[in-house]
Structure 1
Amino acid sequence: MSEFIKLIREKIAAITQNEPQFSQSRLPAAAQAGKIITTPSHEKPAFDSLACPACHSPQFVKRGFRQKQQERIQLYQCTACGKTFTQNVLTSGKHYPLEVILDALSLYNLGYSPSQTCSLLKERAEKIKMTLKPATLAKWVKEFEPICRFSRYREFAGRKYTPSEMVVTATLAHRQLFRFRFHRAKCRLIMWEDVRHYRFDPLREFLELVPSECPHQYFSARSGQAEGLRASEAPLTFSRTQMVVRGKQNFANLLCTFVLQSVAERKLRHEALQKFMLYNDSVTIATEVPVYITRDDLL
């Protein structure tokens, strides 16, 4: 099992046991006094795919490729210690690329059976030259269960929705193309899980109606017109020099680190991350949601 999966298992266990990861009494005296503490440079980072795994130096050069059965992996050589390493440590010992593994997990969590998932993956992935077996898929599902938390909903979602009904999709032509997706099954199950979540039913209804009743004219008009002014085009009313930016590490950060290793092209990373989180985590219910505010809403 990879170190990344072990790290996630430890964090989930800590959350389940309601054990705080940081407490005032466990911090150094300097931190309790409010002083700034910097991490020593020699300490091993939690996860860094762009550094030497041996000495953690960020200085390296490319050193050819390693040809596997299904992919060709870029090799790097550390200029500090001379060790050769690869960027993707999660597929070590696996015959399939990480991209194929993530697609298989997403299809499985959409409600397809293991045999259906293997057949669909064979049709979609042209690079696969061997037949994926359901037993292999079952191993992946068990190994990556700490990441794919939708597994606790999957059985119940499959009873009410078919794979084609589970996610609502629509392409919105708002100056550019946006792929709207709404996980209908996950939203319903989250609401059924706790009666307090029923206050979000108007939001669920709004997301259901986006493909058919979205006011596209608000998003298609050009800037400067009465309608269609985007939030990113509005003038700033506050000073960015007074902004306070705080870093945060949570489960979403770990999930992003995991998924982004499977995407080689930067322009495809956003789409890949959206799809994986929507299909596999337990909280994301929609992506690329059109949000608009009319004058009447402000009055």
Structure 2
Amino acid sequence: MASDHARQPPTRSGIKAPERCPHCNSTRLIKKGSRTKKLEAVAMMKCKACGRTFTPGPRALRNKTYPLTEILEAITTYNRGFSLAETSAQLSSRYGHKVSAATISRWLGQHPSLTTYSRLRSAGKRLYSPRQLIRTNKLYHRQVYEFAYHRAKLDLLRKGMLDPFIHRSSSDSFQKFADFIESIPSSCPHTLFKSEDGVRGSQLGNTFIDIASLEVIERQNAATETAALIIPGVGSNHERHSRLQRFMLANDAATIAVEVPIWLREVDIAALEAEHGIVLVPRQLRDPGHPAGGHVPRQVTGHIDFLQVRNGCLHILDYKPGARTNQPFAQLTLYALASHRRRRPQRPAWFWCSHPWVHSFKR
């Protein structure tokens, strides 16, 4: 009898062609046929600069029998609380070929730095079932945002078990932060985000920041390693952002929530401007011909890509594919100020995949 693998032709790999050669960094790449593996057909690329031929995708996962999407899904399914046997059964049913529990266990052991939630997994299982672990809400703002948070991590944060660097003096602030995250589905002023009158955080200029006083620091960490692993394996640009968010929320111990809405009303903006001696958003008169009529109430909205808690601080991460030329100082400073407004210690940073670095800055 023919095996399952023989009956099913290999699927085309969803890995996107790279922009540069992994050997010499040249952009002179051409397609060079394809390579048929056991479960997928992978495109081959050739660099006209160095003459080397290679398959696209993360270096750590090249020459693997199973497609990258299956490996990442197995890791995520297991860390959501399913057993190895349950994870094996789910993947085998979905993809039509056997994925053994031993194979999944080996994948988990090969990427410990990307699956730091594993040390909290047992505690999380005692708190929530796999299907209750992560709560997701779609926010219908000017576009659809998939806000999600990890319920077990928030509970462990409240108990002081998530981050050993959180001191007792700041534990109350983090408990309020956990309460804020859980309240977002009911407390978020959705009409504010839909209004055409407000300013988007990503549209703010750098006029209220002294760029010369900023210290930009380049680092490599779990966020950049995860992006370097996942982003090249996603064929659609539209899905890259959400795929990375879902993986980090389920597998990274520090990532608490994704696509977190942030809003500042007139009273918040005025208070921050008075406290820091800046002008976040210029005032506009209701009627330019009658200055005594006052100004239009200001409002700023935005969405934080990743919220993390580590080393005793709230870390604000933003994924910026084009950040080498479009550095988001104003946007991240706004998010930091909004967090500080609620008395939560924070550190803003951004990262991207083409040049896998985290850039954080001190104000």
Q: What is the TM-score of this pair, normalised by structure 2?
A: 0.61
Aligned positions, number: 244
The 8 Å contact of residues 157 and 186 in structure 1, kept in 2 or not, is answered as: yes
The 8 Å contact of residues 231 and 244 in structure 2, kept in 1 or not, is answered as: yes
Residues 50, 234 of structure 1: alpha-carbon distance in 2 compared, 3 angstrom cutoff: closer
Q: Alignment partner for residue 142 of structure 2, among 167, 175, 181?
A: 175
Write the letter of the residue equivalent to 1:216: H
Does 2:83 match 1:141?
A: no
Question: How big is the shift at 1:73?
Answer: 1.1
Residues 78, 57 of structure 1: alpha-carbon distance in 2 compared, 3 angstrom cutoff: same
Residues 60, 183 of structure 1: alpha-carbon distance in 2 compared, 3 angstrom cutoff: same
Q: Alignment partner for residue 104 of structure 1, among 45, 56, 74?
A: 74
Does 2:49 match 1:80?
A: yes
CA deviation digits over 1:226-270, x for unaligned, max 9? xx4322345653489869684612212222111112211112111
Question: How big is the shift at 1:185?
Answer: 0.8
Write the letter of the residue equivalent to 1:253: T
Q: Distance in 2 between matches of 1:148 and 1:73?
A: 26
> Which residue does the alignment assign to 1:219?
193
CA deviation digits over 1:255-286, x for unaligned, max 9? 21111122111121111111111111111100
> Tell me, what secondary structure is at the counterpart of 1:164?
coil
> Which residue does the alignment assign to 1:267?
238
Q: Alignment partner for residue 175 of structure 2, among 181, 198, 201?
A: 201
Q: Distance in 2 between matches of 1:52 and 1:139?
A: 26
Question: How big is the shift at 1:187?
Answer: 2.5
Q: Distance in 1 between matches of 2:71 and 2:156?
A: 26
Q: Distance in 2 between matches of 1:293 and 1:181?
A: 21
Structure having the larger proportion of residues in strand: 2
> Tell me, what secondary structure is at the counterpart of 1:66?
strand
Residues 244, 73 of structure 1: alpha-carbon distance in 2 compared, 3 angstrom cutoff: farther
> Which residue does the alignment assign to 2:31?
62
The 8 Å contact of residues 52 and 60 in structure 1, kept in 2 or not, is answered as: no
Write the letter of the residue equivalent to 2:152: A
> Which residue does the alignment assign to 2:12?
none
> Which residue does the alignment assign to 1:34?
none
Residues 49, 143 of structure 1: alpha-carbon distance in 2 compared, 3 angstrom cutoff: farther
> Tell me, what secondary structure is at the counterpart of 1:257?
helix
CA deviation digits over 1:174-229, x for unaligned, max 9? 011000000111232244224626231111011111122322111122x23xxx43
Q: Which moved more, 1:189-198 or 1:146-155?
A: 189-198
> How many percent of aligned residue pairs carry the same amino acid?
32
Does 2:261 match 1:290?
A: yes
CA deviation digits over 1:131-168, x for unaligned, max 9? 21111111111111222111111111111111122111
Residues 240, 218 of structure 1: alpha-carbon distance in 2 compared, 3 angstrom cutoff: same
Residues 235, 147 of structure 1: alpha-carbon distance in 2 compared, 3 angstrom cutoff: closer
Residues 247, 63 of structure 1: alpha-carbon distance in 2 compared, 3 angstrom cutoff: farther
Q: Distance in 2 between matches of 1:148 and 1:49?
A: 28
Residues 244, 117 of structure 1: alpha-carbon distance in 2 compared, 3 angstrom cutoff: same
Structure 1 stretches lacking a partner, 5+ long: 1-47
Does 2:152 match 1:152?
A: no
Question: How big is the shift at 1:291?
Answer: 0.7
CA deviation digits over 1:27-81, x for unaligned, max 9? xxxxxxxxxxxxxxxxxxxxx983253x555433210111112222111122234
Write the letter of the residue equivalent to 2:190: H
Write the letter of the residue equivalent to 1:154: R
The 8 Å contact of residues 154 and 178 in structure 2, kept in 1 or not, is answered as: yes
Does 2:136 match 1:162?
A: no
CA deviation digits over 1:98-146, x for unaligned, max 9? 11111111111111111222233345x4xx3412111111111111122
> Which residue does the alignment assign to 1:210?
184
The 8 Å contact of residues 104 and 117 in structure 1, kept in 2 or not, is answered as: yes
Residues 212, 90 of structure 1: alpha-carbon distance in 2 compared, 3 angstrom cutoff: same
Write the letter of the residue equivalent to 2:175: D
